[in-house]
Structures are given as structure tokens and as C-alpha cells.
Amino acid sequence: MEHLLALLHQVVLGNTLRAWGLAALAFAFTFIVVPGLRRIVERRQRARMESYRSRGESVPAGIEVPSRLLRQTSRLFLWTLALWFATRILTLPSAVDHAFTFIIVVTFWLQAARWGVEAVRIWLDRQLHEGGTADSARAGSFEVLLFVSRIAVYSFALLLALDNLGVQIKPLLAGLGIGGIAIALAVQTVLGDLFASLSITLDKPFEVGDALSIDDVNGTVERIGIKSTRLRSLSGEQIVISNADLLKSRVRNFKRMNERRYVFTVGVTYETPRERLAEIPSIIEAAVRAQPKTRFDRSHLLTFGDSALNYETVYFVTDADYLLFANTQQAINLALLEAFAKRGIEFAYPTQRQIVSAPS
């Protein structure tokens, strides 16, 4: 026993064999037992999450958040945590101690950044699936927010790591401010598109799936990216527009149209009897009201054309679907053709009349 105690107190590399043994036990316990506990807790949390999903219920945040954060805990972090516990027992040379401190601090803040990004991702996912179903229209916008959040979280973690390592970050922040201005001037176009994408994400003038008209471009939004937005045109090709240019344009969003207003003109000949002219507004009104999902506004003999008496009619289709509008207008046109034919009313078309007089 005395020989064993003497052996344990023997000094090797500045520490007794007893201290080396305790450090090895601390490292093994942390690196083996902690990951095992993590796996057990993760399996239980996953089973509880699947139980909620099988019943068609949303998973409570108190269950989902710890489970997803555990999955984002890297083995490198656990290895570094075990190394930290082991080195607390040993007396190490200054250079070695500083090296271990550097590794531990950097690894810890990188892991903290991963947890922070995952927390933002969880919040965005819960917003995206609000109501039980995924909102695909907002998915592209949330990708932009996640990208910006990732940059912010990792930048903040880097500054905290430098501060913990004894680096004076105030002069660094001042230098970054001056350098940031120079960089911003150099990449102002890219930054302009980035901030424009944030504006689109937060203000939501349009979303994925919306049908837009932008100047002379028409198409459906396929993706809202960090620098550009992609549209699928009516003729099939993809149109790419930078976000900054997009916000400077006048954008018409047809998907958010609640109803469609339409104005059309019908011209009849000047030879039409006056009593028939008086009937035409009521004939057009009847043709409009006969169609479903329409709201009649007005119909008047409004102008005297070069070769026609022009009736202007305004009505609304109470659904924004363009196919419904096209079918409705076609039905109105066919009804007017039939009604005018029964009453002997002739549609006008461009004509010229020449009057020739005999020479005196």
C-alpha cells in the first residue's frame, strides 16, 4: 500500500500520477457519459414529438426546442468540454494552458452560435407552419431572414470569443466601422439588393406564387433570393430581376385582387331607330346580370364615333380568376349577339360614305 501511495504521488510532467488519473477519469466520464445521456434524452424527446404529430397536434415549444438544440450539439463541443474538465485538475505550463483555453473558448462560442442559429430556425419554422400547414409562399422570405440571422449570430459570437480571450474589441469595433464603410462603398450594389430582400421579406409586397406585373414584365414569383427575385413568365421563360430594381418599379400584384373591373364598348349604326337605342342599356344590363359572380355598374350611350354610336359598359367580376372573367365576357358577347339579332340592331364597323353631286 505504501508503494502504491508513493507511486501515486510520483510527479510526471509537473503533475502527480494521481492527478493524471483523476484527469483521465474526468475526461472519460464527460466524453462517454454525457453523450450517452444526450442520446437517451434525445430519443425520449423524439418519441414525444412523434406522439404529438401522430395525433395531428402541434409539438409544444417546451419539447421541440430542447430536442432540436440537443441535435445541434456537436461531438467536438463535447470533446472540448471533457478536455476542459480534465485540465481543471492538472497544473499545465503557461503556453499549454493558454492553448487549451483558446481551443475551449473558441469551441464554446461556436457551439453557442449553432444553438442561436437553430433557435432562430425553430422560431421561423413555427411561424412558417402556423396553423398546422406549411406556408410555401413565405418560405423564400424566411430563407433570407435565416441567412441574415446566421451572419448576425456568428459575428456576435466571434466578438464575445475575442473578448473572453483578452482581445480589446473596442478598437477592433472602431476599425471594423471604418473598414465597413469602405466595404459598403465597394459592394453597395450587393448590399442594396440584400436590404431590398429584407424589405420584401418584412413588408411583404408580394410572396412566392403571386402573379405580378412589373413595368413590361408579367410572371409568377418562383423564388425570392438574397440578391434577386425569379419570375416565371406567361410564355414560360424565367425572368431574374434584382431586388433593388424591383422595389424601384411599380409592381402590380394580381393575386391580391379581390375582384376584377372591366370596361367594354359596343358600337351600333347610326341608322338604328331611337326606340331601339333606348333599349340597348337594359339589354346589356340583362346580359351582364345573367352571368354568375358579376356585379353590374352602368351602361350608357356615351360617345358619337366616326361610324358608330358607342355604348360604354362597366361591370365587376367578384372573383379575381382570369379564366372566370374570360368565360364571363365571352358569354356576355354571345348573349348580346343573339339579343341584337332578334331586335334587328346592327353592330357598327368602320365605314365611309361618299356623297357625289351632279355638276351644276
pTM above the 0.75 mark? Answer: no
Structural element, H or E, at residue 241: strand 238-242
Interatomic CA distance for residues 281 and 100, integer angstroms:
90
CA quadruple 134, 135, 138, 140: dihedral positive or negative? positive
pLDDT value of position 28: 73
Percent of the chain clearing pLDDT 90 (strictly above): 22
pLDDT value of position 357: 65
Angle, CA of 71, 76 and 82, to the nearest 5°: 105
Q: How many CB atoms lie within 10 A of CB 111?
A: 19
Strand order from edge to edge, sheet including 238-242: 238-242, 228-233, 217-224, 211-214, 251-253
pLDDT value of position 91: 65
**Is the pLDDT higher at 186 or at 64?**
64
The answer to which of 4-8, 34-38, 56-60, 163-167 has the lowest mean pLDDT is 4-8
The SS3 of residue 229 is strand
Supply the mean pLDDT for the chain: 79
- Residue-wise pLDDT for 73-109, tens only, equals 887 887 777 777 777 666 666 777 777 788 888 888 8
Q: List C-alpha distances in Å: 236 to 218, 219, 239, 240, 252.
A: 11, 9, 9, 13, 19
In the chain, the domains with their CATH numbers are 8-190 (no CATH), 193-255 (2.30.30.60), 260-343 (3.30.70.100)
The SS3 of residue 70 is helix
The SS3 of residue 308 is coil
Instruction: Show Cβ contacts of residue 297 under 8 Å, excluding neighbours closer than 6 positions.
Output: 261, 314, 315, 316
- Residue-wise pLDDT for 315-339, tens only, equals 999 988 888 999 999 999 999 999 9
Structural element, H or E, at residue 101: helix 94-128
The answer to which of 88-97, 194-203, 266-275 has the lowest mean pLDDT is 88-97
pLDDT value of position 186: 47
Do residues 168 and 223 touch, judged by C-beta distance below 8 A? no
Average pLDDT over residues 142-159: 80
Percent of the chain clearing pLDDT 70 (strictly above): 76
- Residue-wise pLDDT for 287-318, tens only, equals 999 999 999 999 999 999 988 999 999 999 99
**Is the pLDDT higher at 341 or at 1?**
341
- Residue-wise pLDDT for 211-255, tens only, equals 888 888 888 988 887 778 889 988 889 999 888 888 888 888 888
